[in-house]
């Protein structure tokens, strides 16, 4: 883990009750994933596609451990409504900048929970007829899966808890924690009560 001035570290991590995956564990796993991806995609010039915003730290790390020529692009989605999201329909608010027809696409996600977002986006991407389309996810939350999604490269399974850090947020905060951790209950109690 990088070095932080002690006071800054104390402030950054004040709301965390427990570290569940350390920076070292994540670095090591991402390196292994990068190695496998580099072997599998040798000579294929893949394009990594990330969905903003939680994927930012992971895709930046992954990109730097992939040793074959690679391109990168991003999509962003938002929900029309909670009901639409429950039906697996999301609104594309930022599309890709490059065509992916006949390209080898590696779709990169920070976390898969119900699988609905991924399932919707994969359908959208498949319609553009890529040469291949695989999924790489850092964190998998299998407990609430509603649709089966193919995960070719997977980092860690997460417990069915509110976890933050390494891109994962709670109310848009904590994405910059240098590990994955649990929040102290008093931090999100308000949401539990309402």
Shortest distance (Å) from residue 151 CB to ligand PRP: 11
Shortest distance (Å) from residue 55 CB to ligand PRP: 6
Our CB check for ligand PRP shows the closer of 97 and 148 to be 148
Shortest distance (Å) from residue 74 CB to ligand PRP: 11
Q: Could you tell me which of 75, 159, 85, 83 has the C-alpha nearest to residue 109? A: 75
- Sites of contact with ligand PRP (CB under 6 A): 51, 53-55, 109-118, 169
Our CB check for ligand PRP shows the closer of 53 and 161 to be 53
Our CB check for ligand PRP shows the closer of 53 and 184 to be 53
Shortest distance (Å) from residue 42 CB to ligand PRP: 28
Our CB check for ligand PRP shows the closer of 106 and 118 to be 118
Paired tokens of 162: 């509110």
Specify the residue for token string 């599998």. Answer: 40
Determine the Cα–Cα distance for residues 128 and 77; give it in Å rounded to an integer: 18
- Residues with a catalytic annotation lie at 113
DSSP state, residue 168: B
Shortest distance (Å) from residue 137 CB to ligand PRP: 9
Our CB check for ligand PRP shows the closer of 20 and 68 to be 20
């Amino acid at each position: 883990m990088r070095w932080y001035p002690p006071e800054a570290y104390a402030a950054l991590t004040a709301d965390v009750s427990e570290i569940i995956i350390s920076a070292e564990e994540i670095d090591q796993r991402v390196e292994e994933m990068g190695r496998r991806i580099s072997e599998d995609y040798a000579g294929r010039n893949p394009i990594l596609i990330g969905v903003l915003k939680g994927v930012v730290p992971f895709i930046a790390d992954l990109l730097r451990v992939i040793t074959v020529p690679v391109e990168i692009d991003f999509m962003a989605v938002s929900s029309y409504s909670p009901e639409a999201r429950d039906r697996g329909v999301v609104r594309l608010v930022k599309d890709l900048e490059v065509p992916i027809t006949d390209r080898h696409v590696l779709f990169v996600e920070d976390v898969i929970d119900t699988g609905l977002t991924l399932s919707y986006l994969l359908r959208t991407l498949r319609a553009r007829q890529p040469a291949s389309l695989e999924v790489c996810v850092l964190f998998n939350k299998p407990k609430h899966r509603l649709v089966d999604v193919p995960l070719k490269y997977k980092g860690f399974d997460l417990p069915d808890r509110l976890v933050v850090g390494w891109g994962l947020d709670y109310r848009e905060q904590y994405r910059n924690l240098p590990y994955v951790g649990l929040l102290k209950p008093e931090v999100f109690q308000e949401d539990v009560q309402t």
